[in-house]
Amino acid sequence: MAHLVTLIAGDGIGPEVAEATRRVLDATGVEIEWVLEDAGAAVLEREGTPLPDRVLEQIRRSRVAIKGPITTPVGGGFRSVNVALRHELDLFAAVRPSRSIPGVPTPHPGVDLVVIRENTEDLYRGVEYERGSPEAAALRAELRRLAGYTAREDAGFTVKPISVSGTRRIVRFALEFVRANGRRKVTLGHKSNIMRFSDGLFLSIGRSESEDHRDVWFEDMEIDQLSMRLTREPEAFDVLLLPNLYGDILSDLCAGLVGGLGLAAGANLGWEYAVFEPVHGSAPDIAGRGVANPVAMIRSGAMLLRHLGEHGAADVVESAVDRVLAAGEVRTPDLGGTSSTDEVAAGVAKDLQVPGPSG
Ligand code: ATP
């Protein structure tokens, strides 16, 4: 039976890299029934919302989706579509691998990292009060009463909630991920000496949960020290477990360590639903020119295949991407080449060596 998958092309370079991805996944021979949905800037103009309910319903129906980047509309009272999707579908874990590929220039040839980012809490929860608003004034009064702290009258506020239950599930997810994927170590990043009741909680739950997974090497590190060490010896790390904001920042840093945003794939996972997407944004500067690197989204597609249980096809796509990049003949301009998005997709599709029934 064909796998039902929702495909959202997205904004900017989204349609270009989404088409390239569909072409490669179809070429694996895995039967996928694509359901196309729109979200983002174009839909906002047409329908007044960048994320219509029917898109969410369709993802709930198919349970699995892959999407291109979606621009966050400025103003209009709507927050990021990406953040809304994660909250609505309770996609609490972002998984973002970064691996050095032979032939792609990097000062760090031995990197093989996975960032696991908590996706629903922290400063990205969206609890914010604009400066000058009645809500900000009420919060100021409350803070004066509770903490004896008088915030400046012209201050805006963003609240950082981190819960025991929200942390426990992401810590368990990370520890189980290490076991299931033959990895060895989790490094938890925090700043608990400054933010004792949010980052401190994240750290203490991490430590206590790791007691129940003694086969997994667990360490913790302050986020500033971790950032510095990642730039010097990224090979020393394996799985990074991070609260939402640090996870967002360090996943871009890790992408930069191994060749840039054009290569970085990602998955957003919950207990019920999974949405795969490249780490990069809509790159309006190169949109419509046919030169966007489709590899990040193609690799997100390989993660999707694995999620569907199509491990053989996922391996085939990943190694075809590696071979094409290593050969260096077909590369988009962000990697120093002159090829188009379509040429990279065609190169990868041609290189797929789908194993037969005995392979
Ligand atoms: P958004 O507002 O949607 O986050 P952005 O332009 O601010 O978009 P990104 O698109 O994530 O941020 O990336 C920043 C820059 O990196 C882009 O402007 C583009 O030059 C480059 N870039 C990102 N993704 C790709 C890609 N797939 N191929 C080539 N270049 C890319």
Work out the average pLDDT over 171-189. Answer: 96
Would you place residue 45 in the very low, low, confident or very high pLDDT band (cuts 50, 70, 90)?
Answer: confident
Separation of CA 59 and ligand 1 centre (Å): 25
Separation of CA 285 and ligand 1 centre (Å): 8
Count of Cβ atoms closer than 10 Å to residue 242 Cβ: 26
pTM of the model: 0.92
* C-beta of residue 275 within 8 angstroms of C-beta of residue 89: yes
pLDDT of residue 4: 97
- Report whether pLDDT(203) > 60: yes
Separation of CA 286 and ligand 1 centre (Å): 8
Ligand 1 closest atom vs CA 69: 3
pLDDT of residue 273: 98
What are 324-347's pLDDT values in tens digits?
Answer: 999 989 999 999 999 999 999 999
pLDDT of residue 75: 62
Separation of CA 261 and ligand 1 centre (Å): 7
Separation of CA 279 and ligand 1 centre (Å): 9
Ligand 1 closest atom vs CA 294: 27
Mutate which of 286, 293, 340 for ligand 1? The one with the most ligand atoms within 8 Å of its CB, which is 286
191 noted as active-site residue: yes
Nearest to 301 by CA among 32, 10, 13, 1: 32
pLDDT of residue 72: 75
Residue 296 CB less than 6 A away from ligand 1? yes
pLDDT of residue 271: 94
350 noted as active-site residue: no
For 145, the token pair is 């009463």
185 noted as active-site residue: no
Work out the average pLDDT over 162-177. Answer: 98
pLDDT of residue 42: 80
- Report whether pLDDT(130) > 90: yes
Bridge-partner residues for 218, per DSSP? 186
Mutate which of 261, 285, 299, 338 for ligand 1? The one with the most ligand atoms within 8 Å of its CB, which is 261
Q: Measure CA 241 to chain center.
A: 13
CA angle 281, 285, 287 (to 5 degrees): 75
- Report whether pLDDT(113) > 90: yes
Residue 281 CB less than 6 A away from ligand 1? yes
Rg (CA), the chain: 21
pLDDT cut 70: percent of the chain above it = 96
pLDDT of residue 135: 97
248 noted as active-site residue: yes
Look at ligand 1, atom 26, and give the residue with the nearest C-alpha: 262
Instruction: Indicate the SS3 state at residue 190.
Output: strand
What are 83-93's pLDDT values in tens digits?
Answer: 889 999 999 99
Work out the average pLDDT over 200-222. Answer: 97
pLDDT of residue 105: 83
Say which of 67, 191, 322, 334 is annotated catalytic. 191
- Report whether pLDDT(74) > 90: no
